[in-house]
Structure 1
């Protein structure tokens, strides 16, 4: 694996991660509330794309939400790891495009216990559409159809969990599962099962830890999105590395 490619991917991830705090702050609101238009200090959020793009710190008071350096570091690490595992194959471009969106989703869900449709649904469309292009260019149409089916299967599993326990698992998790399942399904059913099961297991371990620490995990909604994303990451890495 060329080190230069990994370094470039990490630089891209760091640059994308620096932009995450602003939209994370804007989106971290209750479902019935509108996106925030001011920083925590009350200063208007302005900039390109109606204020969605721009520095991760307010120019007036320096505050937004999650720190820009942590989000940059996490996104850079994710992009570098995906590049090292995937190599210079066409689907790498899809993983690098999805990575900042998933980090943003994890940040929003952790802060506000919600996964906005404006992120989850486009993520699924991005994964399905971009992998469709990759499948056509590489002649791997079968992998694309399996990816689509994988997204439907994982989303269906989470839908069943939602219907069984709606207070603990929301429809946002079901929609996120659709996009993650498409990505995991590209590398096969084993990768899909590994990534899906890892997300549930990691979330369960975290919830059990909260209960043991007597911090009211059973009374407070726990964000599942970050654990689903971490689990998918854990499944995607070995799936990509094992693909010739």
Structure 2
């Protein structure tokens, strides 16, 4: 008796689309669409990364060549070099571009609802420059923290009106105000040993963005930020790159902790 060959397994149509690698492949072209706006992010960093009380930067520190949206290249490009003298301008080369790509790719892969995605994107458009500014000069300027808070509150209000209801929006506002008051209280009680007022103003938006998803989520974001800052501070102390009296910026860790908490709840 002749044995019949086993039938071939059926083809898996659309398997690549359903796989995680397929999602990543489709999301990266969308994430790369953020690259045209990175000169604006770099411009915000270059303009505001100046010591307190100093006029905002308008050109290259070395040669005075004008730097701005009207002349973005190459100073506001990935090379971050002045076209006149070749001196570095603003954030390190390619750092802003990589940070923007990573943030947007995370948003696209996690796929939150549309209005929440727009809200998070708005917040990140201000939070990413603030991260680099705080690292460079230990300040979080009002010109970026306050629009971040106003836009976040308004967009979450739009999400409330279009179906989510008033409860999550009121909770978000309460969480933003509560987190900001916590940071401000440490400044009043501890002085330079506490958090800065700039951190409190950034918390208005970060707390609202997290509070939209529940009261425990801002606590999670704060714990992530404190843990990350503690690990980095310990590493700097062990490597003798910082002392116990050193002041370390907290804004970058608040941004990273907020984004981490969002990715855990989406």
Q: TM-score, normalization: structure 1? A: 0.87
Give 2:221's aligned residue.
195
Q: Distance in 2 between matches of 1:172 and 1:183?
A: 17
Give 2:85's aligned residue.
61
Which runs of structure 2 are paired with 1:11-30 in the superposition (5 Å)?
11-30=32-51
When residues 71 and 16 of structure 1 are mapped into structure 2, their CA distance, relative to the original with a 3 A threshold, is same
When residues 126 and 79 of structure 1 are mapped into structure 2, their CA distance, relative to the original with a 3 A threshold, is same
Alignment counterpart, residue 97 of structure 1, candidates 94, 99, 122: 122
Give 1:127's aligned residue.
152
In the TM superposition, residue 68 of structure 1 has moved relative to its aligned partner by 4.5
Give 1:80's aligned residue.
105
Is the Cα contact below 8 Å between 1:18 and 1:69 reproduced in 2?
Answer: no
For the aligned residue pairs, the C-alpha RMSD in angstroms reads 2.3
After alignment, is 7-16 or 148-157 more displaced?
Answer: 7-16
In the TM superposition, residue 13 of structure 1 has moved relative to its aligned partner by 3.1
Gaps of 5+ in 1: none
When residues 107 and 135 of structure 1 are mapped into structure 2, their CA distance, relative to the original with a 3 A threshold, is same
Give 2:31's aligned residue.
10
User: Which structure would you say has the larger Rg?
Assistant: 2
When residues 19 and 144 of structure 1 are mapped into structure 2, their CA distance, relative to the original with a 3 A threshold, is same
In the TM superposition, residue 211 of structure 1 has moved relative to its aligned partner by 1.9
When residues 207 and 216 of structure 1 are mapped into structure 2, their CA distance, relative to the original with a 3 A threshold, is same
Alignment counterpart, residue 183 of structure 1, candidates 185, 209, 214: 209
Q: Distance in 2 between matches of 1:95 and 1:59?
A: 34
Is the Cα contact below 8 Å between 2:32 and 2:101 reproduced in 1?
Answer: yes
Which structure has the higher relative contact order (CA within 8 Å, separation 6+)?
A: 1
Q: Distance in 1 between matches of 2:248 and 2:121?
A: 27
In the TM superposition, residue 89 of structure 1 has moved relative to its aligned partner by 2.9
Q: Distance in 2 between matches of 1:6 and 1:101?
A: 22
Give 1:115's aligned residue.
140
In the TM superposition, residue 217 of structure 1 has moved relative to its aligned partner by 3.3
Gaps of 5+ in 2: 1-17
When residues 37 and 236 of structure 1 are mapped into structure 2, their CA distance, relative to the original with a 3 A threshold, is same
Q: Distance in 2 between matches of 1:215 and 1:47?
A: 34
Is the Cα contact below 8 Å between 1:13 and 1:77 reproduced in 2?
Answer: no
* CA shift digits 1:76-118 (9 cap, x unpaired): 1111102222345321011112212111000000000111011
- How many residue pairs are counted as aligned between the two chains? 238
Q: Distance in 2 between matches of 1:32 and 1:124?
A: 23
In the TM superposition, residue 197 of structure 1 has moved relative to its aligned partner by 1.4
Is the Cα contact below 8 Å between 1:150 and 1:185 reproduced in 2?
Answer: yes
